[in-house]
Amino acid sequence: MSVKPLQARPVSLGLVAGLAVLCAVAGCKKEAAAPEPGASTTTPAAQQQPQQQAVAMPAVSEKVAAMDADALRDAARKAQAEQRLYAPAGDNAVEYYLALRDKAPGDPGVASALTDLMPYTVIATEQSINREDFAEAQRLYALLEKADPNAPALPRLKDSIARQQQAVAQRAEQEKVKAEEDAKRQAELEKQRAADQQRAQQQAAQQLAAQQAEQQRQAEQARLAEQQRQAEAAAAAQRAAQQRPAQQPAQTAAARPSANDLRPISTPAPRYPTEAYRAGTSGEVQVEFTVAADGSVSDVRVVRASPPRVFDREAVAAVKRWRFQPIGAPVTTRRTISFNPGG
């Protein structure tokens, strides 16, 4: 079966521009790959191992490989027109052209299309490596390798995939070690925090115990002081009680007023009985009475009278009206009242 040549490709001008971009990117990456002056050339132990090889994987999916030439050509043109140049997997222009080349090896249009698409695939591979999407990078690498096993970019891409995977593995190991160290450090901090809390609790308990002991000591001192005060007060009261019987009679005698202490305030004279006065009868009456503490008179009685029952009533009535200065205690005394009509 003869293979029809490819018709005009709508992205040829874009692909030419892509080649220029590829050259610039490749040059930049070569400069970036060069070691800095003075940088150490010692390779870490992990990097001294053989570089990881790209995983072998089929470049063209079984579904695409099973399509016939006409279907592949149509699918390739459509994918190219829709800018599905190298992705998604199983539905991109590169896969369709690779499968078509297997079915029509001498078709120059297929070869030219693949040549135009390769720079974009190289750039996409590098971008996948940079974002650490190694599955996509290896898929694109497989496309490049099938398109041209001797392409100059293949060794560099293969080494870049391996080195980037190794760097990711080292970073993961470093992050693991760091996580373990952080966990260990956190555990030590928790242990230290627990020890500090326990020590603080012990100190607080000791302080509380000391405060309670001090309070008990002060309470005991106050209790003993109160007992001593009460004992001293009881002893003083006992001594006072022992001294009181001896002092009380003298004090009582000194404090008890006598008749001589009475100071009259008002002592009106008795009324002279009319009949005795007309008869010219004279006499006297001795009365006994009690002067209260406020100076009033009470309990008046006749002790003797001469002549009897002549002047008794007037004498008693007069004495009841007497008043004296207040005294410390009641006093009982006697007075003789004389009746003389000529006086």
CATH of 262-339, one of 1.10.3720.10, 3.40.228.10, 2.40.30.40, 3.30.2420.10: 3.30.2420.10
What gap in Å lies between CA 256 and CA 329, rounded to an integer?
6
Q: Which helix (H) or strand (E) holds 255?
A: helix 153-255
What gap in Å lies between CA 95 and CA 116, rounded to an integer?
14
pTM of the model: 0.44
Average pLDDT, the chain: 83
Q: Residues 131-142: what's their mean pLDDT? A: 96
- Render pLDDT for 22-77 as a digit per residue (tens, 0 to 9): 443 344 344 333 344 444 444 443 343 444 444 466 899 999 999 999 999 999 99
* pLDDT confidence tier of residue 324, bands split at 50, 70 and 90: very high
The residue ranges of every structural domain in the chain are: 12-32+46-175, 262-339
CA nearest 6: which of 63, 54, 70, 59? Answer: 70
Q: Are strands 331-339 and 297-306 parallel, antiparallel or unpaired?
A: unpaired
Residue 18 has pLDDT above 70, yes or no: no
Provide the total of helices (H) and of strands (E) in the chain, helices listed first: 9, 5
DSSP 35: P
Q: Which residue has the higher pLDDT, 124 or 31?
A: 124
pLDDT of residue 191: 93
Range name among 53-67, 173-187, 289-303 with the lowest pLDDT average: 53-67
Written as six digits, the tokens of 258 are 């006598």
Q: Are 153 and 26 in contact (CB under 8 A)?
A: yes
Residue written as token pair 């952080």: 182
pLDDT of residue 17: 38
C-alpha 146 chain-centroid distance: 67
